[in-house]
Amino acid sequence: MAETTYVFNADGLIMGRLASTVAELLLKAAREDRDDKVIIINAEKAIVSGRPRSVLNTYKAKYELNHPRKGPFFPRMPDMILKRTVRGMLPYQSKSSGRRALRNLRVVIQCPSHLESDLPEGHEHGDDSKIRRALPERFILLGDISANLGAPTHRWNGGEQ
């Protein structure tokens, strides 16, 4: 079977819409016994709609809910927040198709060098036509949420703190 790797660019996409599209694509492939993979690039540029202060308070409350050693563990980095969002839309604890779908997901900060220009063979751009919309009136970038949680921003700001 030919496996396909779909590449989604999260730049300017609403995180929830992107996550639900990716989860549906991965779950459908896992249930049909295919190993289609998904790579999401530029995770720090995904947007979360809503009032920035309200969104920051929500994520801060989620992050502070945990115990440093016992959990539940909530990530600070934008790639892990986005992956956790997709994980929340998959039945990864109860079904093997959900675990398989989660294994086939990769989320990265910025754009890896091998995906910058033309995509390699076996890779294609994911269809984001249904989720690409005009920017909402109020939103905040996922990178800004991570910076507020205390993540090391030099990983996506090019050395700036």
Domains detected in the chain: 5-157 (3.90.1180.10)
The alpha carbon of residue 41 and the mean position of all alpha carbons in its chain are separated, in whole angstroms, by 8
Q: Which two tokens stand for residue 68?
A: 């440093």
Q: What is the pLDDT of residue 101?
A: 94
Beta strand pairing call for 47-49 and 139-141: antiparallel
Provide the residue-wise pLDDT of the chain in tens; the chain has 161 residues: 568 999 999 999 999 999 999 999 999 999 999 989 999 999 999 999 999 999 999 999 988 887 778 878 889 999 999 999 999 999 989 898 999 999 999 999 988 878 877 888 888 888 888 899 899 999 999 999 999 999 898 888 776 66
Q: How far is it, in rounded angstroms, from Cα 156 to Cα 143?
A: 8
Q: How far is it, in rounded angstroms, from Cα 25 to Cα 29?
A: 6
Q: What is the pLDDT of residue 1?
A: 53
Nearest C-alpha neighbor of 82 from the set 137, 4, 141, 36: 141
The alpha carbon of residue 122 and the mean position of all alpha carbons in its chain are separated, in whole angstroms, by 21
Q: What is the pLDDT of residue 2?
A: 67
Q: What is the pLDDT of residue 146?
A: 94
10 Å Cβ neighbour count for 161?
7
Please, are residues 104 and 29 in contact by the beta-carbon 8 Å criterion? Answer: yes
Q: What is the pLDDT of residue 65?
A: 85
Nearest C-alpha neighbor of 4 from the set 120, 116, 111, 108: 120
